[in-house]
Amino acid sequence: MDFYPDLLVISGQEYKAQCSASTGTILLPYKDEPKVKQGDVISHKTDAAEVSLKVLEASFRRIGTFTSANKTPHMLTMKVEVTEEAPGELKSDPASQSASVDAVVEEKELPPVTISLQQFIERLSMGNDGEAKDMVKKLLQTDGVTRLLGTGTKTLAKLL
């Protein structure tokens, strides 16, 4: 049984790890400390694709983690979220509003996806789901949402 079945790429180097989609947590045993910090974007390789993950927290434990399946002396624990950024890419607008969306695909839970509110509206406007567009437009035009997110929500509603 492989306790670390997932493959991560950090700063161009591959590491075996254990990824928990439900909690957004990664456990990565290591001998030589990976060069990763909060805000970095790393890659999670799967059979089907490569997913970019933004590091929210990184905690290095320099204690023995020896087990029969693991012969490395240290453990890196990271909290991550799925991002559209490529590894090493910087966001153009770090102050942009964002929303987390949990998704279940083919009965397999994925980490939360974070996109800006504007990206969400733009993607929705390109689709054919009129009912969804109407519901989001009505939501964006409410006084409560305007107070919560600002007056730009009315402009976004016009995109729909």
- Can you give the pLDDT at residue 37? 92
Residue 63 class from Cβ within 10 Å (0-12 exposed, 13-18 middle, 19+ buried)? exposed
pLDDT tens digits for range 16-41: 999 887 788 999 998 888 999 999 99
Phi, psi of 110 (to 5 degrees): -110, 160
pLDDT tens digits for range 86-114: 665 444 333 344 444 444 444 445 566 67
**CATH number reported for the structural domain that contains residue 36 in this entry:** 2.40.30
13 and 73 in a common domain: yes
Query: Secondary structure of the chain: what % helix, strand, coil (to 5)?
Result: 20, 35, 40
Judge whether 148 lies within some domain: yes
Judge whether 48 lies within some domain: yes
- Can you give the pLDDT at residue 77? 92
82 and 22 in a common domain: yes
70 and 137 in a common domain: no
pLDDT tens digits for range 54-66: 999 999 887 655 5
Mean pLDDT within 61-89: 72
C-alpha distances out from residue 34 to 15, 20, 83, Å: 9, 19, 20
Query: How far is it, in rounded angstroms, from Cα 113 to Cα 98?
Result: 10
Mean pLDDT within 136-157: 80
pLDDT tens digits for range 120-141: 787 888 888 888 888 888 888 8
Residue-level length of the chain: 160
Domain count, the chain: 2
119 and 77 in a common domain: no
| pTM (global) more than 0.85 | no
10 and 83 in a common domain: yes
Residue 114 class from Cβ within 10 Å (0-12 exposed, 13-18 middle, 19+ buried)? middle
Full residue range of the structural domain in which residue 45 is found: 6-87
Q: How far apart are the first and last CA of the chain?
A: 50
Pairing status of strand 74-82 against strand 108-109: unpaired
Average pLDDT score, the chain: 77
68 and 19 in a common domain: yes
76 and 32 in a common domain: yes
80 and 12 in a common domain: yes
